[in-house]
Structure 1
Amino acid sequence: MPRVSEAHLAARRQQILDAAARCFVRNGFHQTSMQDVIKEAGLSVGAFYRYFKSKNELITAIATEKISAVTGVLDQLLEQEPMPPIVTVIERILEIVDVSVDEDGPVRIAVQVWGEAVHDPEVGLLVAEIYGRVRERAVRMAERARAAGELPPDADPAGVGAAFFGLVQGYILQRILLGTVDRQLYMNGIRALLA
């Protein structure tokens, strides 16, 4: 039997993740069965279960993939010398949110994952680990901003990182729950708070 290439395996796995994301956005986690995802992906049951054994494995893979985009941007900004001001960093993250908030976008899945984390300890651990990485980067940014004089010398980087993270999550929730939130208006509010 011919050996399947790594590229083929990766493409098939991505096909399943994309199908699961569409199903989760359309119907929610609880109303989506594994059979729904298998049908959406156009695969046999055996082919599907070669890649994922449970819905939680799908949720884990999707959440990890989507948050990697945000951590990648934060890593790039952390590597810059000098690092952009924190307000610029927040605005860049909110731009990503705006691009990702459409009907099929990953931001809608993120909100579902947050809700699932309240009821499912396994998902809760996943969310804490994944979003902990984002908050850790926000703390590092606050440390650099304090060292550069952008923040007061007595500013607590852990507190600033937590607030940074909360501002982004707050924007996401407002975009999902209220429909439209003007990013510039939101950023004006952040600038006023930081002034």
Structure 2
Amino acid sequence: MPKVTEAHRVARRGEILDAAQRVFAAHGYRGSSITQIVKASGLSAGAVYSYYSSKEELFHAVVERTFATRTAAITQVRPDVPRPPGELLGSVIAELGEDIYTIAPQVWAEAAVEPEARAAVAGVFEQFGGLLRAELTEWAMSHPQRAGGDPAAWAARRVPVLVAIIPGFIMQRLTMPGFDQRAFLDALAETFDA
């Protein structure tokens, strides 16, 4: 029997996660089954179970991959000059990616009832808040008239508010017919940067 390489294992996990993400996006977490994921993957149940032991494990892996990808994308667009709060958050929202719009609300729903999902969401928000806090502190240091005496404290007070805007944006984009993303981003900059 030929030896399975690590590259093959990584590729196979990716295929399974892609299938799971499609199923979760189409049916929601609660409406999805491992059978649907197996079918969508085109693999045998044994192959899927050799990598993931349950729907829950698959969901957590999809969530982790989705948020890690988005965090990496957000980190890569950081310019040399720190941006004011509204512009910073607007650039983050512009980099969210389509996959987040179906996964994030499901994760939030699970976080309300499942401690492991709650811990995962808290970790994402903490990591994301750290990225925002670092850039906002830099911006505040170069704008002392706006930030007062302690740029780090100024940034820390604003981060929870900025982080809370993203779920609101996602839910409006997902549920409101005719939602105008450009107008939202313009208003965001006007609200925080004026």
Verify same fold: TM over 0.5. Answer: yes
User: 1:74 offset after TM fit, Å?
Assistant: 3.4
2:111 is the alignment partner of 1:117: yes
Runs of at least 5 residues in structure 1 that lack an aligned partner in the other structure: none
Q: 1:77–1:89: 8 Å Cα contact kept in structure 2?
A: no
Superposed CA RMSD in Å reads 1.9
Q: TM-score, normalization: structure 2?
A: 0.87
User: 2:6 & 2:177 partners in 1: Cα distance?
Assistant: 41
Q: Which amino acid aligns with 1:26?
A: A
User: 1:67 & 1:141 partners in 2: Cα distance?
Assistant: 19
Q: 2:86–2:190: 8 Å Cα contact kept in structure 1?
A: no
Sort the Cα spacing of 1:77 and 1:153 in 2 relative to 1 into closer, same or farther, 3 A: farther
Deviations 1:146-185 (A, max 9, x none): 1121742256222211122112221111101214421221
2:179 is the alignment partner of 1:185: no
- Answer with 32-41 or 69-78: which moved more: 69-78
User: 2:103 & 2:178 partners in 1: Cα distance?
Assistant: 17
Q: Tell me the percent identity.
A: 28
User: 1:176 & 1:119 partners in 2: Cα distance?
Assistant: 22
User: 1:77 offset after TM fit, Å?
Assistant: 4.4
| Residue of structure 2 in register with 1:81 after alignment | 80
The partner residue of 2:125 within 122, 125, 131 is 131
| Residue of structure 2 in register with 1:61 after alignment | 61
User: 1:56 & 1:193 partners in 2: Cα distance?
Assistant: 40
| Residue of structure 2 in register with 1:96 after alignment | 95
What SS does the corresponding residue of 2:29 show, helix, strand or coil? Answer: coil
| Residue of structure 1 in register with 2:147 after alignment | 152
Q: Which amino acid aligns with 2:11?
A: A
User: 2:67 & 2:8 partners in 1: Cα distance?
Assistant: 24
| Residue of structure 1 in register with 2:46 after alignment | 46
Deviations 1:77-129 (A, max 9, x none): 45x422233333222222223x51xxxx3321111111111011111111111
User: 2:141 & 2:37 partners in 1: Cα distance?
Assistant: 49
User: 1:24 & 1:77 partners in 2: Cα distance?
Assistant: 28
Q: 2:73–2:95: 8 Å Cα contact kept in structure 1?
A: no
Q: TM-score, normalization: structure 1?
A: 0.87
